[in-house]
Amino acid sequence: MIYRNGWREFFIMLVSFGTPMSVFFMIQYGVIAGLIGGIAAGVLFAGVMTLFVRITEKKFNKLRAEIAAERRIICDGGATWQGEGGWMFFTEAGLEFYPHKLNHAHKEFAIPTEELKEVAVNRTQIVVKLKNGSAVTVVVSHAKDWKAQIESVVSASDGTRNSGDYSL
């Protein structure tokens, strides 16, 4: 299952960028020009970001094919870890994060399935607790779906179901 950003994320970007830009433009140019400018800025920003995500998805298709040839992919999608954007895969072997090339650093991680203890959701983040006591926080789209997928594999390997809803 590939978790893609859709219309919901487009409108969130449009509103979250267009609203402050409308206020800024209203102060600068008046109410009518401000509303028009804010809406235009929001649509432009959301459109550019959506285009960037679509291009990133296509670039990670090659990596998806390579990984799928070696191990079964349970789910994957765009992710941000420690400020680095990229793509995360959850395979039968574990969690894997690969940054895109626009990052200033190229931090990757791979966490084997047997190291996963539980997972929690905090809005758009999944917080994966490891058996060694540390935790990894990743921003993903469809965080609740990621949690369900990870929990199903962890519970199958442990024989117990972990429910880790907690807030940070």
What are the pLDDT digits (tens) for 42-78?
Answer: 999 999 988 887 888 888 888 999 999 999 999 999 8
Tokens representing 64 are 């998806």
Q: Based on the domain organization, do 4 and 80 belong to the same domain?
A: no
Per the structure, how many domains does the chain have? 2
Which domain-ending residue is among 37, 55, 70? 70
109 and 146: one domain? yes
Q: Model-level pTM greater than 0.85? A: no
* Model pLDDT for residues 17-40, shown as the tens digit of each residue: 999 999 999 999 999 999 999 999
- The domain of 32 spans 1-70
Which residues have a Cβ under 8 Å from the Cβ of 63 and sit 6 or more positions away?
87, 98
Q: What is the pLDDT of residues 110-167, one digit of tens each?
A: 999 999 999 999 988 999 999 999 999 999 988 999 999 999 988 887 654 444 433 3
Range 34-43 contact pairs with CB under 8 angstroms and sequence separation of 24 or more: 41/17, 42/13, 42/14, 42/15, 42/17, 42/18, 43/14, 43/18
